[in-house]
Structure 1
């Protein structure tokens, strides 16, 4: 499966988050990638919407609560990630 990457928009980040931009992106990307691996291993025909919800739930569970609360990925990007997981599970 392709590597998933979270990109943050500096304009939408607080001053503190802007200073931590790169490590924050790395942490979010890592959490999402790990979630994708887990969901792919346990995929049983769920819809992209269900896979996306699982991705977000699992990714958030591995983050600090403050970071998890603020992590609101773009729905279209989360859908793309979910579809990538579904495709990878079919290979």
Structure 2
């Protein structure tokens, strides 16, 4: 199973978020990896787009509400993780 990693673009971060970038990336990565495991475990033939949506929902559910509200992942990368789940199951 793949272990996705979240990397924040420093050009899109404000000063406060830039100071917290490392811990924030760790928290987002941890939530995405946990979501990946849950979605892969529960996968039962859904299409890739639905799996990507489930990944986003599960990731946000594992975050503090303020962080979840501001989390806008790269959709291409999220889709790539969803494709890996579909392919491996």
* Band the TM-score falls in, shorter-chain normalisation: over 0.9
Give the alignment's TM-score, normalised by structure 2.
Answer: 0.96
Equivalent residue of 2:18, what SS? helix
Equivalent residue of 2:72, what SS? coil
Q: Give unmatched runs, 5+ long, in structure 2.
A: none
The runs of at least 4 aligned residues of structure 1 exceeding 4 Å deviation read none
Q: Give unmatched runs, 5+ long, in structure 1.
A: none
Q: Provide the C-alpha distance between the structure 1 equivalents of 2:34 and 2:18, rounded to a whole number of angstroms.
A: 24
Tell me the equivalent position of 1:22. 22
Q: Provide the C-alpha distance between the structure 2 equivalents of 1:82 and 1:49, rounded to a whole number of angstroms.
A: 8
TM-align CA RMSD: 0.8
Give the alignment's TM-score, normalised by structure 1.
Answer: 0.94
Deviation at 1:87? 2.2
Tell me the equivalent position of 2:69. 69
Deviation at 1:30? 0.5
Aligned length: 89
